[in-house]
Structure 1
Amino acid sequence: MTRCGIELRRMGSGANSVEEIAQKIADFFYQSLRMGPDDRACALVRFYVTASYSELQPDLQEFADNIVGKHGSPGMKCLTLLGTAGEESAWNSRKQSVGHKAIPLQSEESIAKSPMINALIHQLGIPVPSLLENDQRIMLDEHQHSFNVFHVERAEGSPYIPAQKDFVIPHQVKSVLGLGGMLPTGEMFAIVLFSKLGIPRERAELFNTLALNAKLAILPFAGKQLFA
């Protein structure tokens, strides 16, 4: 984990945006985690950051509009895909994502209707009201200086992991692991690994320190340059 952490901290070198670093990190986890020399451990790795609707590029605003059925408000939070790497060719470009480019987080009620997103936010220890309100004071909370993990040990049949027939079963996803936290801007970042290896809780918890390393890599661009 120490070597992995060092590599993650280096991801910011030469980058000019959060998106560039997010893609580097997604590629790193996908390429580095293996079950054998020629057998990758993850079917898919994704890197998300929350952003206000007004910060999104026009095509992402349109994507979010189509989900909510109306023009989004400037301050509406969206869970935005910035990095992706996986087995399918379409999973290696955020622009080719079908349903996850920019997921609106309109309210606590709407988040509760998305089991995986709801569990991700709560298991990472992030208060939903503070996230929606962009409350930067949360970073003064001592609990936000530690990092938790989102963990679903058995993905198949889990109510927290959607697309069972189209994704989980055909791609042999055994466990799902997420790491992330809050940025000083009040935004959340999350890296989600869809693993073809079963990951017990005690091993999942070893990943929590990597969230800090990923945060340090993107920190210089947080609130400044989101997209490449």
Structure 2
Amino acid sequence: MDLCNLQIGEPEKLIAELDPRLRACRTVGEASTLLSSELYDRCRCGATQERALVLSRVYLSLPFSTLDAGGQAFAREKFGLQPAPRDLFLALVGTHGDRPEWCDRAKSNGHRAIPLNRTTVATVPMLARCFQQIGFDLDVVLKPGEGIHTEGVSRSFGLFHVEQALGSPFVPAQEDFVKSCGVQSVLGCGTMLPDGAVSIWIGFLRGKVTQQAAVPLIPMMPSFWHVVQPIYRRRSLFAA
């Protein structure tokens, strides 16, 4: 897929192609890692058709009690918290990128499990912008399962887009990541599951992509979760 000239229907076509492999996955983490790696390998950009993505990641909102042991330890140590079982975190469930450590979520230094509450959504610029642009209702997200009557996976969300990553207040680690890795644009799309959980794919690109060019990405995560939802319903989240 050419992210600089993405065609309508291409992301859904990719998910359809991956369908048998996604359904064969034993856990949400395995399926999300497959999506992250396939996007990293397949996405190109512009006339040179060089690999478009520096880093490709999938996140899912989860209660603390459902994080794996490493994720729980990370949350406690990184943020100095003693979370309650139902406290929500935006958990890294799939990752693939240029560096070996970006291909293993257990090696994530800062984003393996991000506390999900009104303070972080309001004060972490990238997270705040992502929720705003994609269009997640924070009241629903913070009270998963309460009063939600969505049938299936919602398709009515937008696009997180930062065309110029360098100097943007919405993209952290400017020196250590944006400049050093040549990140030019950032894209994200997401969906909400029937129980109110949200899932986001975020891609950091080495080419510049306009918002108009990226719009066809919007249905990708609903399509992905339409396939993977049975695994999620079984609460098969991470490998034992």
The normalised TM-score by structure 1 is: 0.92
Structure 1 residues 185, 138: CA separation in 2 closer, same or farther (over 3 Å shift)?
A: closer
Show structure 1 runs of 4+ deviating over 4 A.
none
Cα root mean square deviation, aligned: 2.1
Distance (Å, rounded) in 2 between the aligned partners of 1:37 and 1:16: 37
Choose which of 1, 5, 16 in structure 2 pairs with 1:6.
Answer: 16
Counterpart position of 1:74: 85
Counterpart position of 1:94: 105
Cα offset, 1:129, TM superposition: 1.8
Distance (Å, rounded) in 2 between the aligned partners of 1:96 and 1:45: 15
- Secondary structure of residue in 2 paired with 1:74: coil
Q: Counterparts of 1:32-111 in structure 2 under 5 Å?
A: 32-35=42-45, 39-105=50-116, 107-111=117-121
Asked if 1:227 is matched to 2:214, the reply is no
**How many residue pairs were aligned?**
227
Distance (Å, rounded) in 2 between the aligned partners of 1:98 and 1:222: 26
User: Does structure 2 retain, via aligned residues, the 8 Å contact 1:11–1:25?
Assistant: no
Cα offset, 1:5, TM superposition: 3.6
Unpaired runs of at least 5, structure 1: none
Choose which of 120, 124, 128 in structure 1 pairs with 2:134.
Answer: 124
Distance (Å, rounded) in 2 between the aligned partners of 1:177 and 1:22: 17
Structure 1 residues 80, 172: CA separation in 2 closer, same or farther (over 3 Å shift)?
A: same
Structure 1 residues 139, 85: CA separation in 2 closer, same or farther (over 3 Å shift)?
A: farther
The normalised TM-score by structure 2 is: 0.87
User: Does structure 1 retain, via aligned residues, the 8 Å contact 2:60–2:198?
Assistant: yes
- Secondary structure of residue in 2 paired with 1:90: helix
- Residue identity opposite 2:59 in structure 1: Y
- Residues 40-70 of structure 1, C-alpha deviation per residue, up to 9 Å, x if partnerless? 1110000111100011122211211123323
User: Does structure 2 retain, via aligned residues, the 8 Å contact 1:33–1:40?
Assistant: yes
Counterpart position of 2:6: none
Choose which of 3, 15, 18 in structure 1 pairs with 2:28.
Answer: 18
Is 87-96 or 215-224 further displaced after alignment? 215-224
Counterpart position of 1:212: 222
- Residues 119-143 of structure 1, C-alpha deviation per residue, up to 9 Å, x if partnerless? 11221111112111114544539x9
Is 206-215 or 143-152 further displaced after alignment? 143-152
- Residues 77-103 of structure 1, C-alpha deviation per residue, up to 9 Å, x if partnerless? 111111111001100000111111111
User: Does structure 2 retain, via aligned residues, the 8 Å contact 1:152–1:175?
Assistant: yes
Q: Counterparts of 1:147-186 in structure 2 under 5 Å?
A: 147-186=157-196
Asked if 1:191 is matched to 2:201, the reply is yes
Give the percent of matched residue pairs that are identical in Structure 1 and Structure 2.
Answer: 31
- Residue identity opposite 2:87 in structure 1: M
Unpaired runs of at least 5, structure 2: 1-9
Distance (Å, rounded) in 1 between the aligned partners of 2:135 and 2:154: 8
Distance (Å, rounded) in 1 between the aligned partners of 2:147 and 2:17: 30
